Amino acid sequence: MDLRKNIKNIDDLKKAIHFIKNGTLFYQPFTFDDNLVVGEGRNFVKKYDGAVSLHDKNLYHNLCSDRWGINKNDLPDLSKVMFNGNEIDRITITEDEKDFFIKINNEYDGLYDFFIDKILEDLQESPESLTFAEIGCNTGVTLLKLAEMNAKKVYGYDWSDYNELFDWFNKILDTNTNVNFQRGYWDNLRHNFCIYDEDKSNDKDFLKKNSHLIRKNRDKFELAMAMRENIITYDIPEVDVMINTIYTNHQYDPMQFIAQCCDKAKKAVFFWMLIHPSSGDKHVIKYPDASPHENFFHQHDLPFPLNYRNDVRMSVPLIRSVLQACGFSDFKCLQHPNISPEFESWGVGENGDWKMFYAKRTDDIKSGFSITNLEFSTQKENFLKNEK
């Protein structure tokens, strides 16, 4: 996302550098200056060639002293980044790869513009009349683009502590819409979205019992999440459109997650997800023998079923079936018409495994995860009447 117009002074620039230095900004595509760009596009298409950690090969920086009137020596050293409470070396983009990195990053950013435009085009409604939400929003590219369009309301949910980041984004965006961020996580065992229990008594008891376990790289939320204590279910409010990008491949329970998104969507859902190519009408979920990026996404030491946390794939017939069962029968696959050879190789082309699915609500039904027994009986009666 191009935020150069929003970086209006040296304080804005330093804040962007702060979020890059502390490891917050690196994955989603952001351009803060001609010479300050972050994003994972290059690693996608080059399959992480030359990268050793999650923070490698996704930052180009060479800030111009003449433009900003600053001494580079007064800025933080961006060849190092904070990771798990420690400062580690970071492999940044060199000058000879700069043009390619920025080109690919811009194309990566353009994929978000593409599906947002397609959703609005199909709904035939202005953003100002619609509400949106995304579970696993990361640093908010989708949500910020919608906020720039003055969407009625925008909600973001992620397990990382992005409160400071979204406070800053809301400050620098020239828009009347703020991104409403709630920290929490999709619990693959509860099949629900969960948050830390901030009740004063429960919070006090948890900290009294476990504060000695909180290290400099783990706050109380992360500790509670790891220990599965003082965590409660959070009822995400319904919105018009639920959006999810590059997330289901990290979930052991993709069908349950899709159902949750559908149950919270009044009008439409969108999923950018990894598929398992299959012939005919096979309904398949494929789990990997091992993570394709085990050095980045450790899973071998996690208990079952949480050890399946990357490269989880669903077949298209199964995706369609789940969406139909949740009330979304108007289903289509969105394909960007101008994919570069580099992104074709990553898998976002017509024959690739990364697909964008959009579906509109056609039936007023909920999944079994969200309805009571009485509601289920009523829903069943209505279904049988329709069958007759």
pLDDT in tens, 127-141: 999 999 999 999 999
pLDDT in tens, 237-291: 999 999 999 999 999 999 999 999 999 999 999 999 999 987 678 999 999 887 6
| DSSP-assigned states of every residue in 89-158 | E--PPPGGGHHHHHHHHHHHHHHHHHHHHHHHHHHT--GGG-EEEEET-TT-HHHHHHHHTT-SEEEEEE
Quick check: 83 pLDDT over 60?
yes
Enumerate the domain spans of the chain: 4-103, 107-387
pLDDT-derived band at 388, boundaries 50, 70, 90: low
Query: Residue 298: its pLDDT value, please?
Result: 59
Token representation of residue 304: 């079952």
Q: Which has the minimum average pLDDT: 27-36, 103-112, 306-315?
A: 306-315
Per-residue pLDDT band for 65 (boundaries 50, 70, 90) equals low
- Average pLDDT of the chain is 91
pLDDT at 203: 95
Note the pLDDT of residue 297: 56
What would the DSSP string read from start to end of 290-348?
Answer: S-TTTTTS--TTSPTTTT--SS-EE-HHHHHHHHHHTT--EEEEE--S---HHHHHHT-
pLDDT at 133: 98
Topology of the domain covering 107-387: Rossmann fold (3.40.50)
pLDDT band at 317 (very low <50, low <70, confident <90, very high): very high
Condensed to tens digits (0 to 9), the pLDDT of residues 170-192 reads 999 988 899 999 999 999 998 99
64's tokens: 């111009």
Kindly tell me if the per-residue pLDDT of 367 is higher than 70.
yes
Extract the tokens encoding 333. 């696959």
- What is the C-alpha separation between 227 and 30, in angstroms, rounded? 34
**237 preceded by a cis bond (ω within 30 of 0):** no
Q: What is the per-residue pLDDT across 282-296, written as a single tens digit (0 to 9) for each? A: 999 999 887 666 565
User: Per-residue pLDDT averaged across 311-331, rounded?
Assistant: 96
DSSP state at residue 266: E
- Work out the pLDDT band at 308, boundaries 50, 70, 90: confident
**pLDDT score, position 96:** 96
Res. 108 pLDDT band, cuts 50 70 90: very high
Asked whether the predicted pLDDT for residue 46 surpasses 70, the reply is: yes
Name the residue among 277, 216, 274 with its Cα closest to residue 249. 274
Q: What integer is the mean pLDDT of 112-118?
A: 97
